[in-house]
Amino acid sequence: MTRLLILRPQPGADVTAARARALGFDAVVAPLFEIRPVAWDAPDPAHYDALLMTSANAARRGGPQLSLYRHLPVFAVGAATARAATEAGFEKLVIGERDGAAVIARARNQRLLHLAGREHVALPGIDRCIVYAADPVETSPPPADIALLHSARAARHFAALANDRRTISIAALSRQVAEAAGEGWRVIAVAEQPNDESLLAAAAQLCDQGTAGDG
């Protein structure tokens, strides 16, 4: 059985692992980052037309201040972020699948407040509050045949921790994530769409091609 390394933070790691096991993988959960809330001062909601969330962690870790903004629409990147916003009590959602810049284009001239992580992609002209942080774990992940990489930051951190790249195949969420991982891996596959299902399909394709190690 092919051993698949799940490196994303919790609770998403367990969700991905359940999907992977349903596909027949030996899924091992070893998050590279621990997510924690950050104290933040909530700006006056009257100054904004909508919120921007580029990660589900903004909704999960934003804390009680989120209640000030529940009457506002949320522009969310990805279905997971939208689900987390719904669970946090937000009802009006606009969902985009690419990135923050693409979602902003759909917002047109609305005044947005970006609830972001400490490490984030700066979006020009958008007010921002840091509501959570992802602190790196320095322990080397266990050996595996394939590693799933959900972000460029995770790719860089995993590359620094990996003992022997030649024995590990990579399934990356996007071309940008694959490039962040660098070279020297056994094989690199890129998901056709930036979502969990497509990422696992890329990992399964590595198995079908016989390029995922010995299992």
Please report, for the domain that includes residue 172, its CATH number: 3.40.50.10090
Residues 101 and 164 both lie in one domain: no
Residues 61 and 142 both lie in one domain: no
Residues 112 and 187 both lie in one domain: no
| Lookup: tokens for 6 | 């799940």
Domain count for the chain? 2
Q: 21 and 32 in contact (C-beta within 8 Å)? A: no
Tens-digit pLDDT profile for residues 161-190: 998 999 999 999 999 999 999 999 999 999
Classify residue 201: in a domain, yes or no: yes
Classify residue 213: in a domain, yes or no: no
When comparing pLDDT for 28 and 211, which is higher?
28
Mean pLDDT score, 32-38? 95
Classify residue 101: in a domain, yes or no: yes
CA 21 to chain centroid, in Å, comes to 20
Residues 142 and 131 both lie in one domain: no
Residues 15 and 82 both lie in one domain: no
Residues 48 and 100 both lie in one domain: yes
d(CA 132, CA 151): 16
Classify residue 158: in a domain, yes or no: yes
Q: Per-residue pLDDT for 97 more than 70?
A: no
Residues 96 and 146 both lie in one domain: no
Residues 152 and 188 both lie in one domain: yes
Domain boundary among 84, 106, 135: 135
Alpha helix stretches (DSSP H) within the chain? 12-22, 56-61, 79-87, 100-107, 152-161, 175-181, 196-208
Nearest to 131 by CA among 50, 34, 38: 38
Residues 70 and 131 both lie in one domain: yes
Domain boundary among 92, 107, 135: 135
Tens-digit pLDDT profile for residues 55-93: 999 999 999 999 999 999 999 988 889 999 999 999 999
d(CA 93, CA 3): 37
Q: What is the pLDDT of residue 27?
A: 97
Look up the domain containing 7 and give its range: 3-32+138-208
Q: What is the pLDDT of residue 100?
A: 64
Classify residue 215: in a domain, yes or no: no
Burial 95-126, CB ≥16 within 10 A → b, else e: bbeebbeebbeebeeeebbbbbbeebeebeeb
Residues 42 and 122 both lie in one domain: yes
Residues 42 and 28 both lie in one domain: no
Which residues, including other chains, have CB under 8 Å from residue 109's CB and lie 6 or more apart? none
Mean pLDDT score, 136-148? 93
